[in-house]
Copies of this chain bind each other. A is one copy, B any other.
Amino acid sequence: MYQLIDGKAISAQIKKEIAEEVEAMVASGKKRPHLAVIIVGHDGGSESYVAGKVKDCADCGFISTLIRFEDDVTEETLLAEVDKLNKNEDVDGFIVQLPLPKHISESKVTEAIDYRKDVDGFHPVNVGRMSIGLSCFISATPSGIMELLRRYEIPTSGKNCVVIGRSNIVGKPVASLMMQKGYPGDATVTVCHSRTKNLKEICLNADIIIAALGQPEFLKADMVKDGVVIIDVGTTRVPSTETKSGFKLKGDVAFNEVAPKCSYITPVPGGVGLMTRIALMKNTLLAAKHEIY
């Protein structure tokens, strides 16, 4: 019988731990952590992510500031706001919600953020320090995945870990973390992607599979061995008549057929997604405590 990795329970637990720590900080005379969020335009996905972040801040006892620009904001204006937040001592960390309109360079904006306030962990200094093995802000999804492995005490040393997908926000950083010395890490890591030729064979040799390719129900039962640990990062909206909203979230793993072969598996929803949200709160707390920089 497989063990379900309960991202909902773990993230609620972490949220509670953060909120308690914040109240203790405030009681001892320190200020509340303060996260600022810049949003540009009215993209539906971005709106709902940002609303979630503001709510999470409230739950954790953080102050949050939402800064809104319209779609036609110039890169110059946006960079000026970034500069203002870099210098604002009251703001511990901030993010610019992606994607940005096409006339604005995302990498230019990301690199303009002071890496010491880059709680999204997308600045090259944080990405580079993570690869080297130095302390840094780790981006939300990889951080959430590592926390799940840690809380469930899943062995990783010497395990064959297969990462499916090589995105900058999931595949590459989680591979980097899984190969670092220490726990969770010390895994033998294989990164697969669209050009990989023998994916099934590779997955059949995996002790841990981190699926982050964004293809609903891609990973089937005949691609995994018995006892595998599955971390499903996929969250694709597919039309559904079963829900009021008219859609359902699907992971990259065909859960019903794969789960019986697993030792541990994350559900979608209720797995990695919620951990991703809480990881931003953890980084903001770390920024407020100046524990990284």
Residues of A that sit less than 8 Å from B by CB: 107, 123-129, 131-134, 157-158, 160, 166, 168, 172-173, 175-176, 179-181, 186-193, 195-198, 202
Q: Is the CB of B134 within 8 A of A127?
A: no
CA distance A157 to B196 in the complex (A): 8
Instruction: Let me know if B128 and A123 touch, CB within 8 A.
Output: yes
Residues in B with CB closer than 8 Å to A160 are 198
**22 pairs, CB–CB < 8 Å, chain A vs chain B:** A124-B124, A124-B125, A124-B128, A124-B129, A127-B127, A127-B129, A128-B128, A128-B129, A131-B168, A131-B173, A132-B168, A133-B168, A158-B195, A158-B196, A172-B179, A179-B191, A186-B195, A188-B191, A188-B192, A188-B196, A188-B202, A189-B190
Residues on B with beta carbons closer than 8 Å to the beta carbon of A196: 158, 188
The binding surface of chain A is classed by DSSP as mixed
Distance, CA A133 to CA B172, complexed state (A): 11
Q: How far does the alpha carbon of A129 sit from the alpha carbon of B186 in the complex, in Å?
A: 24
Tell me which of B124, B168, B190, B195 contacts A190 (CB under 8 A): B190
Shortest distance between the CB of A197 and any CB in chain B (Å): 5
Told that A186-B193, A188-B192, A189-B190 touch, could you supply 19 new A-B pairs with CB distance under 8 A?
A: A107-B132, A123-B128, A124-B124, A124-B125, A124-B126, A124-B132, A124-B134, A127-B131, A127-B132, A128-B129, A128-B131, A131-B131, A132-B168, A157-B195, A166-B179, A186-B195, A188-B195, A188-B196, A189-B191
Chain B residues within an 8 Å CB radius of A181: 166
A107 to B179, CA, bound (A): 20
A107 to B125, CA, bound (A): 13
Closest B residue by C-beta to A178: B191
Instruction: Tell me if B190 and A188 are in contact (CB < 8 A).
Output: yes
